[in-house]
Amino acid sequence: MEELRQRVVHSIGAVLPRMLGREVAELPEHTRLYDELGMSSSATLELLLALEEDLDIHVEVEEIERRDLESIGSLADFVAGHALAGG
C-alpha cells in the first residue's frame, strides 16, 4: 500500500497544476485542498477521476469523508486504502 500511496502523491502533484490552470511551486502532503488550493467538491471529484485514469485504478468513493479531502496526504491515504486495480 505504501508504494501505491507514493504513486498517488506523485500523481496528485502532476495532475493538480493542470486542473488548477496554474503552476504550483511545491505541493507538500500537508497542503490543504480546499483552504490553500481553492478546490471545490466538484474539482475534487474531477481530481479523483484523473487519478483513476493516471494510475489505472478504480477508487471506491462510497466511504469518503470530509476529513479524507483535507490535504494531499489524507487524500493519498484514502485513495491507497480504497483503490481497486484495473480502473
| pLDDT tens digits, 14-50 | 999 998 899 888 899 999 999 999 999 889 989 999 9
Of the candidate ranges 23-27, 55-59, 70-74, the one whose mean pLDDT is the lowest? 23-27
Between β-strands 57-59 and 83-85, what pairing exists: parallel, antiparallel or unpaired? antiparallel
CATH number at residue 16: 1.10.1200.10
CA distances from 81 to 16, 24, 28, 74 (A): 20, 26, 20, 11
User: Cell for 62?
Assistant: 462510497
Residue 87 has pLDDT above 70, yes or no: no
Residue 84: pLDDT band by 50, 70, 90 thresholds? confident
C-alpha grid cell for residue 78?
A: 484514502
Conformation bin of residue 32: beta by default, left when phi > 0, alpha when psi is -120 to 50: beta
Q: What is the pTM of this model?
A: 0.91
Q: How many domains does the chain have?
A: 1
- Find the domain containing 18 and state its range: 2-85
